[in-house]
């Protein structure tokens, strides 16, 4: 499924991510995928949420600097070799990716998880991925 991803630009200091996650929790917005990286001064948090419009409004109202991009959120079996098999299908289709990160498995279905992929042609990635 193609979804919106939010990239938050934050100071790398204690509590920065905590503040954002608290505001999301208070608004009953679930974080479905998260990747965080940082340097000495800044941090980037990339997240996919259960409600893109509400997340946009919340971030805008809080003054949190962010941008949005489209990403493919794809189901994957939570087992050895699943990522390799999916990437093989993308490679065979001649598709390049920009980056990817995984999500936690569904608490009700530990056999599956999701992978978040950024790529030049998201629809082609989604079509080739399979599972």
- Which phi-psi region, left, alpha or beta, contains residue 56 (left: φ > 0; alpha: ψ -120 to 50)? alpha
| pLDDT value at residue 78 | 84
| pLDDT value at residue 28 | 96
Domain spans of the chain?
Answer: 2-69, 71-129
Higher pLDDT pick, 52 / 40: 52
CATH 3.30.70.260 matches 71-129: yes
- Which phi-psi region, left, alpha or beta, contains residue 55 (left: φ > 0; alpha: ψ -120 to 50)? alpha
Higher pLDDT pick, 104 / 116: 116
Averaged pLDDT for residues 66-71: 96
- 1-50 pLDDT, tens digit each: 899 999 999 988 888 899 999 999 999 999 989 999 988 888 999 999 99
Q: What's the topology of domain 2-69?
A: VC0802-like (3.30.2130)
| pLDDT value at residue 130 | 79
Q: Burial letters for 80-93: b for 16+ Cβ neighbours within 10 Å, e otherwise?
A: eebeeebbeebeee
SS3 9: strand
């Amino acid at each position: 499924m193609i979804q919106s991803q939010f990239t938050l630009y934050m100071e790398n200091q204690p509590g920065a991510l905590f503040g954002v996650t608290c505001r999301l929790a208070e608004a009953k917005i679930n974080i479905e995928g998260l990747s965080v990286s940082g340097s000495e001064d800044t941090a980037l948090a990339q997240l996919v949420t259960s409600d893109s419009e509400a997340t946009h409004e919340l971030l805008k109202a809080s003054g949190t600097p962010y941008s949005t991009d489209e990403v493919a959120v794809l189901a994957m079996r939570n087992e050895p070799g699943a990522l390799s098999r999916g990437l093989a299908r993308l490679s065979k289709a001649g598709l390049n990716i920009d980056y990817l990160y995984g999500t936690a498995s569904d608490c009700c279905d530990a056999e599956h998880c999701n992978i978040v992929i950024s790529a030049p042609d998201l629809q082609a990635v989604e079509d080739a991925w399979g599972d």
